[in-house]
Amino acid sequence: MSELADYLKSKRQVVDRVLDANLPPAETPPNVIHEAMRYAVLGGGKRIRPIVAIAAAEACGANVDELLVPIAALELIHTYSLVHDDLPALDDDDLRRGQKTTHVVFGEAMGILTGDALLTEAFAWLAKPIAAVDAAHQLRAIREVAVAVDSQGMIGGQVADIIATGTDESTPELLDFIHRNKTSKLLTASVVLGGLLANASDEKIEALRKYGSAIGLAFQIVDDLLDQEEDAATLGKTAGKDVAQGKLTYPALFGTDAARAKVESLLGEALRNAAIIAGPVNYLPGIARFICERRS
């Protein structure tokens, strides 16, 4: 296994442990909501957002051990968005990460409340006092994350996606709006959060922001490309469904070749900015390559 693959695997395990240890135990009353939260979060996932936050914090010289709770909160937010997007009133998905979606197992009411609970828990974790972190920096990190996923961020992207689905208004501007908001902003905020919790300089924070924005958009385009190519068995979700539903995707609008070229260009942008951080431990370039070249 490559050094990067080792790194990703070990950090994924660290994040999984932090999530498991900090989510309320399944027997906490009322049990069902805690069972559902743990089911939704602990059922797998690449943990990309916490991992880029860890990599950013490490590249800025931080010891991440104390920072893991707010960093793991990023995964709670990502999972809440998946749980709500999968609901019958939204994408109506029955499978996610190869297992039944939360509302299929626990019912629709509990699907809604589980998403709510994960989003709320995330902010409780983000606001947990950390001795090594300046409180003003931590406040900035909370605000950064909240703004990334608000109605002008991730939720706005989801709304635009719903509006665009099945309409004829498939413009490049709309597609860009959806991708930037639905995926890129939270990934960007994750990278920036790592820098803020590491007390990085404003110059480094800005480089992290550009790096995050590039890998965030690339991540979504690669997702679209994979969805187009893969079958349900490999991907663990109902593949080709975006196309069937008339969802706006990068390859659908520009063609596969242009989508691949865009990913290449974003990778260059990410690598240039990762070089600005220049810490002794810097997995940001490797992660950018991994995101752009992944096959699942």
Smallest separation, CB 147 to a copy of itself (Å):
5
> To which residue do tokens 């961020």 refer?
153
Applying CB under 8 A, the span of 55-63, 117-125, 242-250, 258-266 interacting with a copy of itself comes to 117-125
Using the rule CB under 8 A, which residue among 4, 26, 32, 271 binds a copy of itself?
A: 32
Decide if residue 151 touches a copy of itself (CB under 8 A).
Answer: yes
Q: Site size for a copy of itself, by CB under 8 A?
A: 54
Nearer to a copy of itself, 37 or 72 (CB): 37
Q: Is 105 in the site for a copy of itself (CB under 8 A)?
A: no
Residues 169-188 that bind a copy of itself (CB under 8 A): 177
Residues 149, 193, 215, 288: which binds a copy of itself (CB under 8 A)?
149
Q: How far apart (Å, rounded) are the C-alpha atoms in residues 37 and 292?
A: 30
Q: Rule CB under 8 A: say whether 132 interacts with a copy of itself.
A: no
Of 160, 23, 17, nearest to 80 by C-alpha is 23
Three-state secondary structure string covering the chain: CCHHHHHHHHHHHHHHHHHHHHCCCCCCCCHHHHHHHHHHHHCCCCCHHHHHHHHHHHHCCCCHHHHHHHHHHHHHHHHHHHHHHCCCCCCCCCEECCEECHHHHHCHHHHHHHHHHHHHHHHHHHCCCCCCCCHHHHHHHHHHHHHHCCCCCHHHHHHHHHHHCCCCCCCHHHHHHHHHHHHHHHHHHHHHHHHHHCCCCHHHHHHHHHHHHHHHHHHHHHHHHHHHHCCHHHHCCCCCHHHHCCCCCHHHHHCHHHHHHHHHHHHHHHHHHHHHHCCCCCCHHHHHHHHHHCCC
Choice between 17 and 143, CB closer to a copy of itself = 143
Which residue(s) pair with 89 in the sheet? Answer: none
Choices 2-10, 57-65, 152-160, 202-210 (CB under 8 A): range interacting with a copy of itself: 152-160
The stretch among 4-12, 103-111, 182-190, 249-257 that binds a copy of itself (CB under 8 A) is: 103-111
110 in contact with a copy of itself (CB under 8 A):
yes
- With respect to a copy of itself, which residue has the nearer C-beta, 155 or 276? 155
**Min CB(122)–a copy of itself separation in Å:** 8
Q: Quick one: 129 or 280, whose CB is closer to a copy of itself? A: 129
Task: Extract the tokens encoding 147.
Answer: 């703004």
Site string for a copy of itself, 248-267 (x = CB under 8 A): --------------------
- Which positions lie near a copy of itself, rule CB under 8 A? 24, 28-30, 32-34, 37, 80, 84, 87, 89-90, 107-113, 115-117, 119-121, 123-124, 126-129, 134-136, 138-140, 142-143, 146-147, 149-152, 155-156, 158-160, 162-163, 177
